[in-house]
Amino acid sequence: MPSKPRTAVITGAAQGIGRFWALRLASDGMTVVAADVRPCDETVAQVTAAGGRAVAVLCDVTDEASVKDLQDEVDEQFGGADVLVNNAIAYAQGSLMELTLADWRRVVSVGVDGLFLTSRALVPSMKRRGWGRVINVASNTFDLMLPGLVPYVTAKGAVIGFTRALASELGPYGITVNCIAPGLTRTEQSWEALAETGLFDRMATMQAIPRTEVPEDLVGTLSFLASDDAAFVTGQTIVVDGGLVRH
């Protein structure tokens, strides 16, 4: 174990999967910095109630100045980040002809520009320490031929490419870079949007494990990739979707 608690920065941590990941890394003994464009007070409250340590930072991952403020806050309070979980996403659904340039730019800006800005800001402290974990979030939709998701799938494909390229760059510094690709996961937000469509049940019937994915199904993979045990695992995309996508 490290001599002092490691610090994990999680973007998109105000709700959903990001909140569950914050709770798990805190239970693993890390101090969690919950970052989001929305307040993360509830995430911090849940981490604290469970006996963990967390702080909330407002951050727009698409804004360079906002990400710099996040970097400064993490450096000042904790001497830098040890783990970065790039979880922030944006979403737009519709056919190519229905989507606007603003839709495209919003999804790609959060999913790709945000990835670049947060990694560039927080990796230097990992280099100084000679240890680090960058964990990016893709989606199993990259492997599925689903219509109406062009910006989202494009952004998630870029996440996988970014992961592979950055792994080669940072390996000599003791930093691993990996990617988790969840399937359709039941959160409060996804259930509210999709429950009446029957999509959860249809997806479950096609999986090797025929039930709906929940955030708890994802926390073990994150915990492993953020640990010392994953020191020789890098550049990988781990699909966690109950066996719907099989490589």
* Whole-number Å distance between alpha carbons of 174 and 79: 18
Fold of 7-185+215-240: Rossmann fold (3.40.50)
* Whole-number Å distance between alpha carbons of 107 and 126: 28
Mean pLDDT in residue range 79-102: 94
* Whole-number Å distance between alpha carbons of 40 and 50: 16
Confidence at residue 115, expressed as pLDDT on a 0 to 100 scale: 96
Confidence at residue 224, expressed as pLDDT on a 0 to 100 scale: 98
Confidence at residue 2, expressed as pLDDT on a 0 to 100 scale: 63
Is 137 strand, coil or helix?
A: strand
* Whole-number Å distance between alpha carbons of 52 and 81: 17
Nearest Cα to 95, choosing from 146, 149, 142? 149
Would you state the structure tokens that stand for residue 69, as one six-digit string?
Answer: 């403020």
Confidence at residue 226, expressed as pLDDT on a 0 to 100 scale: 98
| HSE (side-chain half, CA atoms, 13 Å) at 113 | 15
Q: Given pLDDT bands bounded at 50, 70 and 90, which one contains residue 145?
A: confident
Q: Active-site residues: which are they?
A: 152
